[in-house]
Amino acid sequence: MMSGLAYLGAALAVALAAFGSAIGQGMASGAAMEGIARQPEAAGDIRTTLILALAFIEALTLFSFVIAILLWTKIG
């Protein structure tokens, strides 16, 4: 029974991280598009900052995926 809960915990970790990442990326992209619409001359700087922020958000998702895999291999 305990291993079933551990599998559920690993799956929940990945699911919550992916959901949070998707929400964060959507909000960041929306704010960047709004900023570019207001100041088109700053589009290059905004785009660069957005890409860097999206990379950091995605890295957090990948870290949770690695932790879930480590949990999964310890269980089995």
Domain ranges (residues) in the chain: 12-75
Distance CA 43, CA 49 (A): 10
Looking at residue 76, its pLDDT comes to 60
Q: What is the pLDDT of residues 15-69, one digit of tens each?
A: 999 999 999 999 999 999 999 999 999 999 999 999 999 999 999 889 988 888 8
- Fold of the domain built from segment(s) 12-75: F1FO ATP Synthase (1.20.20)
36 three-state secondary structure: helix
Q: What is the pTM of this model?
A: 0.79
Close Cβ partners of 16 (under 8 Å, ≥ 6 residues apart): 64
**Listed residue (64, 53, 44) closest to 26, CA to CA:** 53
The confidence band for 2, taking pLDDT boundaries of 50, 70 and 90, is low
**Within 13 A of 9's CA, how many CA atoms are on the CB side?**
13
Distance CA 43, CA 32 (A): 9
